[in-house]
Chains A and B, each alone.
Chain A
């Protein structure tokens, strides 16, 4: 079966750095997405990785290792507005997105 695992909840301090991990086992791989979802809102796109390595975009970076079936999202200089759920999703061999359950990130002052 297809499976995506990520921690259910994480807590971090404002101004700090946090890393959210995602491991996956899917039928085929055509890229990995990270989305951000604030409570009561729709998911919004953060990043896309299809090749191994680190993609940096401002305070957010995303890393992929295809051989390990592993990705992480790195958030730097945390702000209170970063409190949200972070969803990992893999595009499988049928070009369908398989979603993890999401990681709820709580930022404390």
Chain B
């Protein structure tokens, strides 16, 4: 793989079900991010990780959890999905050690519908 990948591409999920969105990068970036993008709103940060083994909460963390067991993978879990979590989810990564230039690279996104 080259860059950052996400799976699945799209998913329809019943409310109350548990779901994990996968994200993998091969750029050896230290930082990774999960965003949701809703029509008319900007990208909103859900959770982030500045390095393997650490995570932090973003602007809209409720109902989501993440883990960062290694540099490459950053899964996002919805413990019990609700319809308001219907959105497009983007995973991104960056080399944030270069503090003066924090360009983020995005995965192709996962379109999630919760019914």
Q: Are A48 and B43 in contact (CB under 8 A)?
A: no
Give Cα A87–Cα B108 distance, bound, in whole angstroms. 16
Contact string, B53-67, partner A, CB cutoff 8 A, digits 1/0? 000001000000000
B residues 63-93 touching A (CB-CB < 8 Å): 90
Which residues from A are CB-within-8-Å of B48? 96
A residues 1-36 touching B (CB-CB < 8 Å): 4, 8, 30-31, 33
Chain B residues touching A, range: 20 to 34
A73 to chain B, nearest CB (A): 16
Q: Are A48 and B103 in contact (CB under 8 A)?
A: yes
Main secondary structure of the interface of A (DSSP, over half): loop
Also in contact, A43 and B42, with CB within 8 A (given A48-B103, A91-B102)? no
Contact string, B101-113, partner A, CB cutoff 8 A, digits 1/0? 1111111110000
Chain A positions within 8 Å of B, measured between CB atoms, are 4, 8, 30-31, 33, 41-45, 48, 50, 87, 89, 91, 95-97, 99-102
